[in-house]
Amino acid sequence: MAKAQRVLSIEIGYSLTQVCEMDFRSKHPQVYGVFSMKTPDGILNDGAISPTESYIQELKSYIAANGMTAKKVIFAVSSTKIASREATIPMVKENKVAEMLMSNITDYFPVDPSSYQFAHNIMDTVTDEAGTKQYRVMIMACPSEILEGYSYLAQQLGLELSSIDYSGNSIFQALRHRFATGVNLTVKIDERSSLLTVTNNGVITMQRSGIYGADQVVDIMMDTDVYGEPLSYEAAVKTLRRNNLVMKADEEATLADKEAEVAELERQNEAAIAAAAATGDSSQVASATVKAKQAGANLKMLRLRRDVTYAYEQLISSIVRVIDYYNSKNRDAAIDNIIITGIAADFWGFAGLLSDELGREVEVLKDLAGTNINQGLHLQDVSLGDYISVIGAGLGSVGFMPASMASEKGGKGKGAKKSSASNEKLPVIVFVAGLAISVALVALSVPKYFTTKIEGDNLAEKKTQLEPVQDIYDTYVQTKANCDYLNAVYAQTDNYNRDLYDVITELEQKLPKDVEVITLNVTTTGVSLNFSVANKEEAAASIINLRSFDCFSDVVVTTITEVTDEDTGTSHVEVTADCTYGTNPALLEETDDNADSADAEATAE
């Protein structure tokens, strides 16, 4: 039995480059090793790569450091520029399918074929109404300029390029044995997008992209100072996997109280520091400082969890929209299982949040159980769900190749066999027989062909006219999601202190002219006021005026003290009042009275 040939399978993402060494196109392949490294900015642009010399050298170093010795390489590519179409064609020999598709390729893709490379995947064998067997084929088109970059990278790495695969096919190949029956949805979450694949009894029935990925959550982690030093991309991903940062609904309701508590503790800390400076007694400073810092750190963490949860919800919303679209089109083929993979799949708490939103269990792909892939013992603790694309590409690539390499292979005629004398007449006989059959078939099919072609041309023209609508819709969805996020963040900052200047101005107008404000403490829930007036009459008038403020729902007088100066014999009154923000009850009563009066007038009329 021949030993399986090893291959390096590489997927270059916006943030991470993932590499796997495994057996190539083996029935029971072995995964020998995996690793990931940071992808520098500017290397990837919607599937097309521009590898720098430093990136190439770093990738070489990682490959050598991980003991990978394969001489061939394949790439898994994800791009919005790779188009796919389904088609049903007559059943011919599999090695003739490509030739048949290429003869009518412009009917499937209204593009210049010379600027694209094409590949196909036979998904199923079906039988039409007449009982004729046909192939259901997925045809893919990739711009040639995308493929050339991978050819250059393979050359610089000193490796032979075997194939380039489409990421959507890679995922399907990796899980086709696991999901051979039933309707199954696989969600692969990349850095900036998501790919949703639905299979029915092992056949792809739908693939769609979501507009959100993991980076929005990771960026929040990289921007926070909760963990001290700024986190790198890899450290942010590890932190999200090791810490449950999903905020519960009841926790969000306490956020305003936590902010008020922190403000009060900071006030107490400042008061303790001021008292220590005045009296020399610093015994209370350390305790007050520790409490304030601890409460502040807890508040930062709560705000981080809020922001992470909002980002999760946007990602989940984009996934749910695709699922809703599938359900609306396939009411008789409900999804049986949902599995998530990719960078964000095992962020702690994300799967549970998605499960709650969908009202059903969601499985996180962490290993290769149920597949035909042998995961080595040294990889048992590695989350191979992150490497699902590169593993799948090694199982069965669609076979994209750069135009330059495809022409070279085509011109060599490798593997051609010499014809014997007894076979020289065979092509002539086959040709004559085939010609006769073809004439009969053409005579029957020409009218139907032209009718179908006209319908196809009309549909293609309509599709071209509507294509800009998708871009507008995607822009709208992105803009609306960003707007909703900003509105939600702004709502967390909206409180009565927004009008604090007006409150202070009203205090100046309604309190006596000779009033002396001793302290004024402001929180998000209210104002605590300590002031001095000449006598109790002015104190009473001041309290009545405070209770007339529109923005105070309650005014509680905690102390009224008459203070006499022993030296001069004069006295004054000190008042402490706690004013709680809210709508003044008098305004509510006035509104109710006005409503009653209006009802009475309406009844009288």
Instruction: Report pTM.
Output: 0.61
For residue 510, tell me if it sits in a domain.
Answer: yes
Query: What are the CA-CA distances from residue 202 to residues 27, 176, 556 (Å)?
Result: 17, 6, 71
For residue 55, tell me if it sits in a domain.
Answer: yes
Enclosing domain of residue 76? 1-85+143-178+369-413
For 22, the 3-state DSSP assignment is strand
Residues 63, 170: one domain? yes
Q: What is the pLDDT of residues 151-168, one digit of tens each?
A: 999 999 999 999 999 988
Residues 374, 519: one domain? no
Q: Which long-range contacts (CB under 8 A, 24 or more apart) does 479-483 make?
A: 481/212, 481/314, 481/317, 481/318
For residue 379, tell me if it sits in a domain.
Answer: yes
For residue 37, tell me if it sits in a domain.
Answer: yes
Residue 171 has pLDDT above 90, yes or no: no
Of 249-258, 347-356, 502-511, 533-542, minimum mean pLDDT range:
249-258
What does the mean pLDDT of the chain come to?
81
Question: Which residues sit opposite 18 in a β-bridge?
Answer: 11, 36
Task: Give the domain CATH number at 539.
Answer: 3.30.1360.100
Residue 188 has pLDDT above 60, yes or no: yes
Q: What is the pLDDT of residues 283-312, one digit of tens each?
A: 787 888 888 888 888 888 888 999 999 999
More confident residue, 266 or 432: 266
Query: What are the CA-CA distances from residue 229 to residues 221, 224, 225, 275, 289 (Å)?
Result: 11, 9, 6, 34, 22
The whole-angstrom distance between residue 316's C-alpha and the CA centroid of its chain comes to: 8
Report the pLDDT value the prediction gives residue 340, as an integer from 0 to 100.
92
Q: What is the mean pLDDT of residues 29-48?
A: 90
Give the closest residue to 12 by CA, choosing from 81, 64, 75, 61.
Answer: 75
Question: Which residues sit opposite 160 in a β-bridge?
Answer: 72
- The share of the chain scoring above pLDDT 90, in percent, equals 21
Q: Which of 356, 391, 413 is the last residue of a domain?
A: 413
Task: Give the domain CATH number at 9.
Answer: 3.30.420.40
Please name the amino acid found at residue 337.
N
Residues 508, 395: one domain? no
For residue 48, tell me if it sits in a domain.
Answer: yes
* Residue 481, token pair as written in the block: 């999601």
For residue 237, tell me if it sits in a domain.
Answer: no
Burial class (CB in 10 A: 0-12, 13-18, 19+), 291: middle
Report the pLDDT value the prediction gives residue 417, as an integer from 0 to 100.
32
Number of structural domains (the chain) is 2
Report the pLDDT value the prediction gives residue 172, as an integer from 0 to 100.
86
Look up residue 495 and give its DSSP letter.
S
Q: Which of 357, 381, 413 is the last residue of a domain?
A: 413
For residue 407, tell me if it sits in a domain.
Answer: yes
Q: Which residues of 122-161 are buried (b: 16+ CB within 10 A; e: fewer)?
A: ebbeeeeeeeeebbebbbbbbbeebbbbbbebbeebebeb
Give the closest residue to 323 by CA, choosing from 472, 193, 184, 213.
Answer: 184
Q: What is the pLDDT of residues 435-468, one digit of tens each?
A: 555 555 554 554 455 556 556 766 766 666 666 6
Using 50, 70 and 90 to split pLDDT, how confident is the model at 420? Answer: very low
For residue 152, tell me if it sits in a domain.
Answer: yes
The whole-angstrom separation of Cα 529 and Cα 406 is 82
Residues 409, 506: one domain? no
